[in-house]
Amino acid sequence: LLLLQLPVPIAVFFLLYKERMVPCFGSSSHPLLSADELALETRPTDKDELPSTLQRAQAAAGGHDDLFSCCQSKNFRGASYTYYAVHIAGALVLFMTDGIVGEYSGFIYSYAVEEPLSVVHKVAGYLPSLFWGFITLGRLISIPVSYRMKPATMVFINVVGVLITFLLLLIFSSSVVFLFVGTASLGLFLSSTFPSMLAYTEDILQYKGCATTVLVTGAGIGEMVLQLLVGSIIHDQGSYSFLVCGMIFGGLAFTFYALLLFFHRMYPKPSSDVDEASPDKPAAMDDTGQYQR
């Protein structure tokens, strides 16, 4: 399955290379236009006004035509250590939770057909479908719930629910019925963890793009690495270690979330004015419609 997904990042990298958006390589093709430049290209203007207008648009955009402009060191000057800690803690939570999604959906069938459960292969084949079905159902339910509940509360409920579900799965490890119930429960609790974490960190950081990159990268790496790790452990220690690994990952997710809450309390609250110490602070607009830092 991982090999089937490999052409996608290769194609994206090739597109970035062709558009000269990879800083380490050069290309003869023209780079993609930014939103401001594209609007100016499609709007009829005088020839003399076009160069100066483009320069103002590029200066106002703050270098957003560069894919990695948000990661430049000048954008992080004056940022407190809690700014980085919130990024790292949030990424680690998603590393664990999305890793649980990958390893549970990938190995629940193998766990069910082995002893002591020894579920019939045809019946065990329903477990991954049940898991993904309840993830879809949970995401639908989380839409109206998010209107009445804060993202931090939703993430807390999800992480604690995952931890309790794995604990009950370990206690009732010989029950086929509870395996199906626990699979559905895990799907519900894991369904809204990723979007709720994005919304929660957005409330803290008021970011534009870099924090999203860190969180999505952490989630993707976790989904890849934990599958490989759990597969190796199951091969060496047996099928029962599948639930033990899930319990450990759930405990680590809860621990990292507690650290995120701790750093959130220490993170300076955003003021009404533009805070120069926050690299991801959104730019304000003046009355003329131009962006200002």
In the chain, pLDDT over 90 holds for what percent of residues?
35
pLDDT at 263: 87
pLDDT at 114: 87
pLDDT at 2 over 70: no
The domain limits of the chain are 81-265
Closest CA to 254 of 25, 100, 62, 49: 100
SS3 284: strand
pLDDT at 231 over 60: yes
Minimum mean pLDDT among 4-18, 77-91, 95-109, 274-288: which range? 274-288
Reported as a single tens digit per residue, the pLDDT across 161-180 is 999 999 999 999 888 999 99
The CATH class of 81-265 is mainly alpha
For the chain, the distance separating the N- and C-terminal CA atoms, rounded to the nearest angstrom, is 45
pLDDT at 118: 85
Higher pLDDT, 276 or 201: 201
**Burial degree of 284 (CB within 10 A; 0-12, 13-18, 19+):** exposed
SS3 135: helix
Higher pLDDT, 223 or 52: 223
pLDDT at 52 over 60: no
Residues 127 and 183 sit within 8 Å (Cβ to Cβ): yes
Q: What is the mean pLDDT of the chain?
A: 76
Confidence band for 16, pLDDT divided at 50, 70 and 90? low
Kindly list the distances between the CA atom of residue 21 and the CA atoms of 26, 31, 59, 177, 269, in Å, as whole numbers in the listed order: 9, 7, 18, 52, 34
pLDDT at 63: 44
Reported as a single tens digit per residue, the pLDDT across 127-163 is 999 999 999 999 999 989 988 999 999 999 999 999 9
pTM of the model as a whole: 0.68
